[in-house]
Amino acid sequence: MQAYWKRSQRKLAPWLFLAPGLAMFALYVIIPIFQSMAISFYDWDGLGEKIWIGTANYVELIDDDAFYTSLKNNVIWLVLYLLAVPAGLMIAIFLNQTVWGIRAYKSLFFFPFVISQVVVGLMFSWFYAPNFGLFYKLIETVTGDGVAILADERFVTYGIIVAGLWPQIAYVMILYLTGLNNVAPDQVEAARLDGAKGWRMLWYVILPQLRPATFIAVVVTVIGALRSFDLVSIMTNGGPYGSSRVLSFYMYEQALSEYGYRMGYGAAIAVVLFAIMMVFISGFIWKMWRDETER
Amino acid sequence: MARKTTQTRKALTTVAAWSIGFLIFFPILWTVLMSFHSEGDAIKGPFAMLASPWTFESYGEVQHRSNYALHFWNSVVISFGSTLAALVIAIPAAWAMAFVPGRRTKDLLMWMLSTKMMPSVGVLIPMYLMFRDFGLLDTRSGLVAVLTLINLPIVVWMLYTYFKEIPGEILEAARMDGASLRSEILHVLTPMAVPGIASTVLLNVILAWNEAFWTLQLTTSDAAPLTQFIASYSSPEGLFYAKLSAASTMAIAPILILGWFSQKQLVRGLTFGAVK
């Protein structure tokens, strides 16, 4: 046994080393996904008897308006969040010139990132607060009529997204600023001699060199958009009238909040959420990753 | 002439840049300002609040109402504990991926990272049930375990990127000199990767410190970290903005200070080591 270990240690070690990590993933990802799938076929309050109801949860989901509202909000989140990538790029390019006090200046951009979403949500709740919030006052001054963003079905989702975009843009900005340090100056100079300027310079010379930064920026932005749960639950709790719910929040509301302990229905929502994620997001990221590594 | 225009231009860009910076920093500044005013003044509107007298009363009340030291300690234990646990699991795994790559290594890495995109709430039901059944609800060890799991992909990913930069020949040489696998990793690889490991630790401590979803769902009082401490000041009867700001300031101050002093490592961490 000992001799065998000595001989094949080098061959076995990589597998042994990967094993704990993979086991942890199984615990956190694979088992819960299958468990969710299994639960989604039952009517269950989490404590009592599980009742097999087949696909009834899914059938109910198809006709559930709240489900579609949440799904729509998820899409809005994802689309608007991705704006953080070009926005961060623009600020980074703008700042990548000599600005007085740039070192101290850059630190300002770290702060939003190191702050918890709880604090972000609460800060922005204050900005939006009717009658005394800064943002409310601003709108009141400009339009003559204040809008309680977080209590208005039309604006609530956008209001929460703005709160989320704040740290996200700062993050992307830092990524690109770091990436810009590495753009080869001789290539930029050569392109300039060839007459490249402005957009063409950006698109053909600078952006290709920023690809690693763009990859990370997109990945963290997508992750951020899917973490919408935290901000929604802190800022509005899904309201008013459920208009700011996202899928993850709706699932939580159905399964674990005081509105009902419908584990089965919640699990069905989770399964749909997984399915959507697998198809769209992993496909998209996968492609970017392939482009990135096979270049 | 030309010199003058560039000077003017530089001044203009500086002003514009600092305005953007101010805008980015403003919400934090405002929270701190608000924490030094009384509850009544905080809801008088922006200018009236700034004009009102400064006071420490919100801090006093927060001190009085909740146990900051306990929540602070919970946050420290949870964020450092989970980061260390993740390192112990991730260093060997990243070594295997970086120095003994197989055909599927990259796919495996990507798959790990993609699990980060899974909304945590999707696994909440099974995790909650697991926690309940094992009696881990509202315990520090339970939270350490969960945060280890959720940050593990990032730790593995970052360490992999850093390890990749270390030439395999150095490890090879150590092996030739008769170093065992253990000392190869512990005494050759790890010391060389210290800067990378430091960035990884820093980023993950910050991520864990700020983690709001699991900490809010799985703790109530005993093991509650600072996120729960802040959230406890946003009650359904209405928000107490001044106290909330005081609590927020107390909760974010340690991490802001940590971030300020370690910006360089943090930048590497933020970029996952992929952007230099």
Q: What's the confidence (pLDDT) of residue B77?
A: 93
CB-CB under 8 Å, A174 with B270: yes
Distance from CA of A52 to the nearest CA of B (A): 18
Among residues A240, A239, A248, A255, the alpha carbon closest in space to that of A78 is found at: A248
Dihedral through CA A180, CA A182, CA A185, CA A190, nearest 10? -90
Of residues A59 and B233, more confidence is placed in: A59
Q: How far apart are CA A66 and CA A193, in angstroms?
A: 58
Residue in A closest to B127 by C-alpha:
A32
With contact defined as beta carbons under 8 Å apart, do B265 and B199 qualify?
yes
CB neighbour list of residue A63: distance below 8 Å, 6 or more residues apart: none
**Residue % of chain B over a pLDDT of 70:** 94
The amino acid at B250: M
Q: What's the confidence (pLDDT) of residue A138?
A: 84
Q: Which residue of A27, A116, A134 is in closest CB contact with B227?
A: A116
Residue in A closest to B107 by C-alpha:
A286
Residue B5 binned pLDDT confidence (cut-offs 50, 70, 90): low
Q: How far apart are the first and last CA of chain A?
A: 45
Residue B60 binned pLDDT confidence (cut-offs 50, 70, 90): confident
Q: What's the confidence (pLDDT) of residue A83?
A: 93
Q: How far apart are CA A16 and CA B163, in angstroms?
A: 18
Q: What's the confidence (pLDDT) of residue A292?
A: 64
CB-CB under 8 Å, A116 with B119: no
Chain A residues inside the 8 Å CB shell of B115 = 25, 28-29
The residue count of chain B comes to 276
SS3 B235: strand
CATH number for B57-270 (one of 1.10.3720.10, 2.70.70.10, 2.40.30.10, 1.20.1250.20): it is: 1.10.3720.10
Q: How far apart are CA B266 and CA B254, in angstroms?
A: 15
Chain B residues inside the 8 Å CB shell of A27 = 149
Q: What's the confidence (pLDDT) of residue B276?
A: 56
Task: Count Cα atoms within 13 angstroms, Cβ side, for A194.
Answer: 11
Chain A residues inside the 8 Å CB shell of B106 = 289, 293
Among residues B219, B205, B213, the alpha carbon closest in space to that of B255 is found at: B205
Count other Cβ atoms within 10 Å, centred on residue B148. 25
Q: Where are the beta strands (DSSP E) in chain B?
A: 234-235, 238-239
pTM of the full predicted structure?
0.84
Mean pLDDT score of chain B: 82
With contact defined as beta carbons under 8 Å apart, do A84 and A172 qualify?
yes
CA B196 to the chain's CA centroid: 16
CA A221 to the chain's CA centroid: 5
Q: What's the confidence (pLDDT) of residue B85?
A: 93
What tokens appear for B272 in the block?
A: 């996952």
Residue B235 binned pLDDT confidence (cut-offs 50, 70, 90): low
DSSP string, B9-68: HHHHHHHHHHHHHHHHHHHHHHHHHHHTS-HHHHTS-HHHHHHSPP-SHHHHHHHHHS-H
CB-CB under 8 Å, A171 with B270: yes
Dihedral through CA A94, CA A98, CA A100, CA A101, nearest 10? 80
The amino acid at A270: A
Q: How far apart are CA B46 and CA B54, in angstroms?
A: 14
| Per-residue pLDDT reduced to its tens digit, B85-137 | 999 989 888 888 888 887 777 777 777 777 777 777 777 778 888 888 888 88
CB-CB under 8 Å, A255 with B89: no
Angle between helices A156-180 and A102-113 (to 10 degrees): 140
Mean pLDDT by 10 residues, chain A (295 residues): 70 80 78 85 82 86 89 92 92 77 76 84 85 82 80 88 91 87 82 81 84 85 83 84 87 79 86 79 70 62
Q: What's the confidence (pLDDT) of residue B4?
A: 60
Residue B1 binned pLDDT confidence (cut-offs 50, 70, 90): very low
Residue spans per domain, chain B: 57-270
Of residues A71 and B1, more confidence is placed in: A71
CB-CB under 8 Å, B126 with A234: no
Taking the CA atoms of A115, A120, A121 and A123 in sequence, report the sign of the dihedral they define: positive
Chain A residues inside the 8 Å CB shell of B100 = 13-14
Angle at B207 between CA B32 and CA B246, to 5 degrees: 20
DSSP string, A33-51: HHHHHHHTTEE--SSS--E
With contact defined as beta carbons under 8 Å apart, do A183 and A136 qualify?
no
Chain A residues inside the 8 Å CB shell of B229 = none
What is the complex's ipTM, to 2 decimals?
A: 0.80
Q: Could you tell me the domains of chain A? A: 65-293 (1.10.3720.10)
Alpha-carbon distance values, B76 to A202, B141, B206 (Å): 44, 13, 10
